[in-house]
Amino acid sequence: MDNDIARVLYSKADIKEACERLGKQLTKDYAGKRPLILSVLTGAMFFTTDVVREFDVYSEIDFIDVSSYKGGMESTGTVDLVSDLSEDVNGRDVLIIEDIVDTGRTLSYIVDLLYSRNAKSVKICTFLDKPAGRVVEAKADYVGFTVPKEFVVGYGLDYQGYYRNLPYVGVLKPEVYE
């Protein structure tokens, strides 16, 4: 897999540092609350496990599986709910954990869904934020790194389902997708 990577954007050490920093901030901000952590499958699985272990607050963990890229490099424009969460969010402080916010469609879909079910508060912690990609309004409250408008893989982020298990984030060589 390493052979397909043109450039590393964030190393294992960079990622560890970001998780520690975000975990500290979240621990302060959620002190005294009992949030429901909502991890967005599949991309956010790696970031979720790392960041929640830096988060020293009583919290439950749930998952929602939504998909809109279908493995490709461009958003299809529609967000499909593959699998709903299991908890009742009524009256809960929900903390969404995402790997990346790009067009904002996925996040906006989930935030609307949670508020329609009467969540008390909804905040977003994303590993990567790509503000240049926004199509709909979506704002993350906690951001690991702000990335340029480039297609990135690794640490949960895929191209055609692959590269999620790279322990770092990188940019693919053009010949991989050309």
The interface partner of residue 108, options being ligand PRP, Mn ion, Mg ion, none and the CB cut-off 5 to 8 Å by kind, is: none
Min CB(178)–Mg ion separation in Å: 19
Q: What angle do CA 62, 148, 76 make, to 5 degrees?
A: 55
Min CB(119)–ligand PRP separation in Å: 19
Q: Contact between 69 and Mg ion (CB under 5 A)?
A: yes
Q: Where are the strands (E) in 42-168, listed by range?
A: 60-67, 80-83, 93-101, 121-129, 142-146, 152-153
Binder among 35, 104, 154, 170 for ligand PRP (CB under 6 A)? 104
Q: Contact between 100 and ligand PRP (CB under 6 A)?
A: yes
Nearest CA-CA partner of 38 in 12, 66, 17: 66
Q: Are 154 and 166 in contact (CB under 8 A)?
A: yes
Whether residue 14 lies in the annotated active site? no
Token code pair at residue 112: 């609307």
Min CB(69)–Mg ion separation in Å: 4
Out of 102, 112, 129, 141, pick the active-site residue: 102
Q: Contact between 158 and Mg ion (CB under 5 A)?
A: yes
The H or E element that residue 38 is part of is strand 36-41
Q: State how far the Cα of 31 lies from the Cα of 44, in Å rounded to an integer.
A: 23
Min CB(161)–ligand PRP separation in Å: 8
> What are the residues facing 98 on neighbouring strands?
126
Binder among 52, 63, 99, 124 for ligand PRP (CB under 6 A)? 99
Sites of contact with Mg ion (CB under 5 A)? 69, 158
Active site residues: 102
